[in-house]
Amino acid sequence: MSWKIYPISEFKNHQDCWQRLNQEGTGSPLLELAFISPMLHAFSSGKEILVRYESDNTLLAMAILSPNSLGRWTTFQPLQAPLLTLLITEDTFCIYLIMGTFSQCVVSH
């Protein structure tokens, strides 16, 4: 189980995974690439990061995060599109794993 962190400039390299994870989950139209990509283009400061959580070579979660203050991150939510840029599998146990392991990852990154 591990988090991988990428600069938001690499989102295009991961957009197929983003799309697939959204379709396997809720399938929200607001998290489709057709909405997320233009939103990033228009409102991203370039300081955001893309995080991916994987276990046994299976992608379980992805999120777009923005720096809030030193060592603190929030989900990317421009005022013009206040939505949670987080995708997770339907496995509720995954949420507990994510919260515990991400806090360690961010501190050490």
Split into its structural domains, the chain has a count of 1
Domain range for 30: 2-108
pLDDT at position 23 over 80: yes
What are the backbone angles phi and psi of residue 16, rounded to the nearest 5°?
A: -65, -40
The per-residue pLDDT for range 55-107, each reduced to its tens digit, is 888 888 899 998 888 878 888 888 777 777 878 776 645 565 555 555 555 43
Q: How far apart are CA 27 and CA 42, in angstroms?
A: 23
pLDDT at position 108 over 50: no
CATH number at residue 77: 3.40.630.30
pLDDT at residue number 24 = 86
Quick one: 35 exposed, middle or buried, by C-beta within 10 A (0-12, 13-18, 19+)? middle
- Please provide the DSSP assignment of 32-47 as one string: SHHHHHHHHHHH--S-
